């Protein structure tokens, strides 16, 4: 529907340079540096308290950084308050003004910019159509579902043709079904408009599904930044490996630059891990089951105790006596090893990460 | 929020709170001052007026009477209102609006107007039921309805009454047990709140009591004030401070109780 | 249900007595003559005085109460300040005119603390006569309990204002003025108006303060009722007290209905 220029300028580069924010003794954000290419959607992913929302709010101008710069397309906006930064923001909840209709909400930014009534109506109508809510212009927030409210919020943010689009966990307050549908909507709109977007979430599935690049954060700094496939398949740190997707923690021993896990030698991702006992992080997809060959009590022989059907794939839980291992495979393959089957585990020869400390694995 | 706005807000708050604080504390302080004046302008402060409280039989009687009334009214209110509200919530949700309307009705009838209608009624009660001043609690119960209702309603809304009562009943509990062991323990702050509001209202009530020719605390205070202002003032400020302390205690205790009753999974 | 029986007896019955009484002529039978008693000059004066004092104290109390509520709500929700102000407001709003009357006697009566203090410094606040017992004084005393009442009833509305609305306004390019003009103002207007009405009804119904203060009676509607109920002249105008009571009830009912309508909108937006 129209070219990019009809809907706003093409994306702008957004740079965060050494952004830091402290609250008293607590360091919420520790020298974050991140460059977003024009039109790119970057997702900041991490558990609560990791600093992702702080980073977003610093970019928005809703909070002031203790140090560092925020640059939009070459222009330093660090000193500017939110109202002068030309950003579009979607909040997690209570986004809409309850006393205004959807149309009035969307047109609000235009009202502030003193556009004529005709212009406001036209543009707001365009935006509502963009998010698929043309017929809902006269509804109030209380008459809209959660998903619809967020779509109106998105339309409102985009109506003013902002430089950057910022989304603060926009889907977290919604039902699961609505969530997956709406996240694809958001991505579609974002690509259509071509706006540089920062998307904050604690849901790794969300981040991996829609982002061009994902930045995994913990305790105020960026652990890894890269395309979703890379984050998933080649986690750079144990935190990333455990936060994104499932991981098996297998005790083993590091020697001669490899880690030996229950009889199998596996290469290492990080070459300079100290020798000695360690916990290897193995993805479920890297574990396969075989029912032939030596079934005697080897270190990798155990019994299937559960099979979780997830649709195209299935997750098989195997009890090795002193340890439980999860394997993930196509459902057809899993069918041959129902609960109770005696199996032997094969670990694929992928490089593995070593967990840093003996802590409980954090789940996404 | 950026720094300059935070600063402006802080200045605003300090100014407002100081000015308001002065405005409100001044009369209270004046009451204390007035009640501790000596016989002439230059004589030292004295607690004579306060001591006189215990020696003025009317005042003592008034205090006792009002305390009794407060207790009776609060308990009566709880016994009458809480089961009704629970019952309506669980069994007759259709009439909940009617009940709500009735409970808020006393707000629309000024006490002074109501008393005109209560007079003949109380003449009858005086003769046929009891001439005791405690009959006032009948009327007081009506007066406290709106505040107690609102408090209890909020408390009932916060607990999942339906589920809890059904669980208890399925385990064999009778209605009394449900009320006593399930409902009441799970809304302590609401009940406390309703009770304390009732107490405050009863202790401060003057209109109905005086026009029905009963002697409660406030009536006595006004009467004594005609002849012995300092002592009356002492009682007044004492009661005010007491009520304030009670409410403060309620907020502290209520907060603590609320935490104890946190039901996992029922996060806001 | 015992509840309804009780309420019927002690609320509806007296109200009915009042209403019926007001409509009953001296000799029996339906009549509106009792209401004619309201038309006398001193009664009209009583009504206009009651209404004006209520209105002024309501508006003043609403304004200052809203400001104070705002100062409270912007602080720590669980802090000591908020809790003590809420408790104090609860006490002062509810507690009772008698104590308040004494408080102001102690403060600014001719022998009051402030009066004496100012006199020692050369300022006589009563140069034009003692106004404590006139409308200005009564209004001032009423404001003293109107402000806490406003804090109690208006604060929940302020609580309902979400920080996201402020931030959304900012991110869309609005400043503080825009925020109040387009967002917070319109959102709070119904609540503010409604609470002002509540304050008005509260002042209009108040009795204890003026009864304790104006021991010789005064030209206010509640005191007129008192006079009728306590004097022997009742015999000659039996229905007048009822008529006055009905008039009061009507006024309050109208105000409270408006209040409820406004409240509905407020809770829809600001829950």
Domain assignment present for residue B31? The answer is no
Phi, psi angles (nearest 5°) of residue A217: -120, 150
- The answer, for B3 touching chain A at a CB cutoff of 8 Å, is yes
Q: How distant is the Cα of B9 from the closest Cα of chain A, in angstroms?
A: 16
Cβ A50 vs Cβ A218: under 8 Å? yes
Tell me the HSE value of A198 on the side-chain side, using a 13 A CA sphere: 30
User: Are residues A234 and A251 part of one domain?
Assistant: no
A24 lies in the same domain as A132 = yes
Helix axes C221-230, C238-270, angle to 10 degrees: 140
Q: A194: domain CATH number?
A: 3.40.50.300
Which range scores top for mean pLDDT: A290-294, B81-85, B264-268? B81-85
Average pLDDT over residues C248-267: 86
> What pLDDT digit, counting tens, does each position of C39-69 carry?
777 778 888 888 888 999 999 999 999 999 9
Per the structure block, which two tokens stand in for C266? 């407020």
- The verdict on A217 and A300 lying in the same domain is no
Q: What is the pLDDT of residue C66?
A: 93
State the pLDDT at residue B257: 60
If one counts the domains in chain A, the total is 2
- Domain assignment of residue A57, yes or no: yes
Residues A203 and A259 both lie in one domain: no
Residue B157 token pair: 């809304």
Closest by CA position to A194, among listed A229, A163, A173, A240: A163
Min CA distance, A183 vs chain C (Å)? Answer: 21
Q: Which residues of A touch C262 (CB under 8 A)?
A: none
pLDDT along chain A (364 residues), means of 10: 43 90 89 93 92 92 91 90 90 90 92 89 92 91 91 93 93 89 92 93 92 93 92 86 87 86 85 83 88 74 88 89 88 87 86 67 40
Residue A287 belongs to what domain range?
246-354
Geometric angle at alpha carbon B204, from B202 and B209, rounded to 5°: 70
C269/A93 touch (CB, cutoff 8 Å), yes or no = no
Place of tokens 């529907």: A1
Does residue A364 form part of some domain? no
Mark whether A225 and A254 lie in a shared domain. Answer: no
- Domain containing A311 — which CATH number? 2.40.50.100
Are residues A310 and A176 part of one domain?
Answer: no
Tokens, residue C86: 């809420």
The CA–CA distances, whole Å, from C178 to A345, B148, C63, C71, C164 equal: 65, 40, 21, 20, 15
**Are the Cβ atoms of C225 and B116 closer than 8 angstroms?**
yes
Residue C160 reports pLDDT greater than 90: no
Give how far the C-alpha of residue A104 lies from the chain's centroid of Cα atoms, to the nearest Å: 32
Subunits next to A (3 or more Cβ pairs <8 Å) are B, C
Asked if the structure places residue A349 within a domain, the reply is yes
Residue A114 has a pLDDT of 87
Q: Do A234 and A268 share a structural domain?
A: no
If we measure between CA atoms, which residue out of B62, B230, B242 comes closest to residue C105?
A: B230
Residue A361 in domain: no
Q: What does the longest C-alpha to C-alpha distance in chain A come to?
A: 81
Nearest chain B Cα to A57, which residue?
A: B1
Among B87, B203, B247, the residue with its CB nearest the CB of C90 is B247
Structural domain count of chain B: 1
Around B161, how many Cα atoms within 13 Å sit in the side-chain half-sphere? 22
The lowest-confidence range among A318-332, B206-220, C14-28 is: C14-28
Token output for A6: 């009809």
State ipTM. 0.78
Does some domain include residue B16? no
Q: Does any domain span residue A108?
A: yes
pLDDT, tens digit, for every residue of C214-247?
Answer: 766 667 877 777 777 776 554 555 667 777 777 8
Task: Report d(CA C138, CA A350) in Å as an integer.
Answer: 86
Q: Are residues A229 and A260 in the same domain?
A: no
Is residue B224, in this structure, part of any structural domain at all?
yes
Domain span at B145: 56-260
Whether residue B131 is predicted with pLDDT greater than 90 in this model: the reply is no
| Domain contains A362 | no
| Shared-domain flag, residues A209 and A252 | no
Residue A38 and residue A16 share a domain:
yes
Does residue B4 fall inside a structural domain?
A: no
Q: Is there a contact between B3 and A81 if contact means CB atoms under 8 Å apart?
A: no
- Within 128-157 of B, beta carbons closer than 8 Å to C belong to 138-139, 141-142, 145
Q: Looking at A193, A208, A238, which one is the last position of a domain? A: A238
**Domain assignment present for B230:** yes
Same domain? A103 vs A222: yes
Q: What structural domains does chain C harbor?
A: 44-270 (1.10.3720.10)
* Nearest chain C Cα distance for residue B59, angstroms: 14
Which 3 state secondary structure label does DSSP give C181? Answer: helix
Q: Are residues A133 and A259 in the same domain?
A: no
CATH number (domain holding residue B76)? 1.10.3720.10
Assigned domain for B187 exists: yes
Q: What is the mean pLDDT of chain A?
A: 87
Residues in chain C: 271
Among C227, C233, C225, C260, smallest CA distance to C22 is for C225
Contact assessment for residue A303 and residue A318, using Cβ atoms and an 8 Å cutoff = yes
């Amino acid at each position: 529907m129209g070219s990019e220029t009809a809907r706003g300028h093409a994306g702008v580069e957004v740079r965060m340079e050494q952004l830091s924010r402290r609250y008293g003794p607590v360091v919420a954000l520790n020298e974050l540096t991140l460059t977003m290419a024009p039109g790119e959607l970057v997702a900041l992913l991490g558990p609560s308290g990791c600093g992702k929302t702080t980073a977003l709010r610093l970019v928005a101008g809703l909070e002031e950084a203790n140090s560092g710069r925020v640059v939009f397309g070459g222009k330093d906006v660090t000193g500017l308050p939110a109202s002068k930064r030309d950003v579009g923001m979607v909040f997690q909840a209570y986004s809409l003004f309850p006393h205004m209709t959807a149309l009035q909400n969307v047109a609000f930014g235009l009202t502030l910019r003193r556009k004529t009534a005709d212009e406001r109506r036209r543009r707001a109508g365009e935006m509502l159509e963009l998010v698929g809510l043309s017929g809902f212009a006269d509804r109030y927030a209380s008459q809209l579902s959660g998903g619809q409210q967020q779509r109106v919020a998105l339309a409102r943010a985009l109506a003013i043709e902002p430089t950057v689009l910022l989304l603060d966990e926009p889907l977290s307050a919604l039902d699961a079904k609505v969530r997956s549908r709406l996240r694809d909507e958001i991505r579609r709109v974002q690509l259509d408009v071509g706006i540089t977007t920062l998307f904050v979430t604690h849901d790794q599935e969300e981040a991996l599904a829609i982002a061009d690049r994902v930045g995994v954060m913990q305790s105020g700094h960026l652990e890894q930044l890269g395309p979703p496939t890379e984050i998933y398949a080649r986690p750079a740190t144990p935190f990333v490996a455990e936060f994104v997707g499932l991981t098996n923690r297998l005790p083993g021993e590091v020697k001669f630059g490899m880690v030996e896990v229950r009889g199998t030698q596996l290469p290492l991702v990080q070459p300079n891990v100290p020798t000695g006992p360690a916990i290897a992080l193995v993805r479920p997809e890297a574990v396969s089951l075989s029912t032939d060959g030596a079934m005697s009590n080897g270190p990798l022989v155990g019994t299937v105790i559960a099979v979780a059907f997830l649709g195209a794939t299935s997750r098989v839980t195997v009890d090795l006596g002193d340890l439980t291992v999860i394997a993930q495979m196509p459902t057809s393959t899993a069918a041959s090893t129902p609960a109770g089957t005696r199996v032997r585990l094969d670990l694929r020869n992928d490089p593995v990460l070593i967990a840093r400390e003996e802590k409980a694995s954090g789940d996404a | 929020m950026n720094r300059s706005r935070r600063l402006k807000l802080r200045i605003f708050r300090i100014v407002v709170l100081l000015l308001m604080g002065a405005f409100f504390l001044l009369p209270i302080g004046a009451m204390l001052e007035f009640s501790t004046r000596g016989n002439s302008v230059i004589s030292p402060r004295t607690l004579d007026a306060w001591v006189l409280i215990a020696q003025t039989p009317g005042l003592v009687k008034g205090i006792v009477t009002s305390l009794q009334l407060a207790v009776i009214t609060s308990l009566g209110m709880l016994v009458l209102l809480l089961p009704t509200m629970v019952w309506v919530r669980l069994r007759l949700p259709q009439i909940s609006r009617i009940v709500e309307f009735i409970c808020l009705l006393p707000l629309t009838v000024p006490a002074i107007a109501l008393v005109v209608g209560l007079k003949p009624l109380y003449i009858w009660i005086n003769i046929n039921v009891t001439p005791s001043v405690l009959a006032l609690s009948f009327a007081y119960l009506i007066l406290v309805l709106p505040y107690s209702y609102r408090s209890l309603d909020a408390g009932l809304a916060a607990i999942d009454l339906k589920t809890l009562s059904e669980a208890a009943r399925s385990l064999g509990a009778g209605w009394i047990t449900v009320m006593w062991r399930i409902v009441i323990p799970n809304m302590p702050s609401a009940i406390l709140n309703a009770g304390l509001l009732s107490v405050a209202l009863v202790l401060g009530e003057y209109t109905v009591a005086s026009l029905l020719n009963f002697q409660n605390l406030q009536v006595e205070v006004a009467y004594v004030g005609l002849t012995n202002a300092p002592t009356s003032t002492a009682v007044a400020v004492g009661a005010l401070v007491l009520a304030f302390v009670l409410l403060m205690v309620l907020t502290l205790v209520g907060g603590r109780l609320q935490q104890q009753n946190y039901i996992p999974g029922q996060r806001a | 249900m015992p509840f309804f029986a009780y309420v019927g007896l002690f609320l509806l019955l007296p109200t009915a007595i009042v209403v019926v009484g007001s409509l009953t002529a001296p000799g029996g039978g339906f009549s509106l003559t009792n209401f004619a008693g309201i038309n006398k000059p001193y009664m009209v004066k009583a009504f206009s005085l009651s209404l004006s004092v209520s209105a002024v104290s309501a508006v003043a109390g609403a304004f200052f109460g809203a400001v104070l509520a705002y100062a409270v709500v912007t602080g720590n929700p669980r802090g000591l300040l908020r809790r003590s102000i809420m408790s104090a407001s609860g006490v002062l709003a509810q507690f009772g005119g008698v104590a308040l009357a004494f408080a102001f006697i102690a403060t600014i009566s001719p022998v009051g603390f402030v009066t004496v203090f100012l006199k020692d410094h050369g300022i006589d606040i009563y140069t034009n006569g003692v106004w404590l017992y006139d409308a200005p004084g009564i209004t001032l005393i009423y404001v003293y309990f109107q402000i806490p009442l406003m804090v109690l009833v208006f604060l929940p509305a302020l609580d309902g204002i979400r920080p996201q609305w402020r931030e959304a306004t900012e991110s869309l390019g609005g400043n503080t003025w825009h925020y109040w003009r387009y967002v917070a103002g319109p959102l709070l207007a119904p609540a503010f108006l409604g609470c002002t009405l509540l304050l008005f009804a509260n002042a209009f119904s108040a009795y204890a303060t003026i009864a304790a203060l104006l021991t010789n009676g005064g030209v206010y509607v509640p005191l007129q009722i008192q006079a009728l109920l306590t004097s022997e002249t009742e015999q000659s105008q039996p229905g007048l007290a009822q008529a006055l009571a009905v008039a009061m009830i009507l006024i309050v009912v109208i105000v409270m209905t408006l209040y409820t309508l406004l409240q509905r909108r407020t809770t829809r937006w600001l829950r």
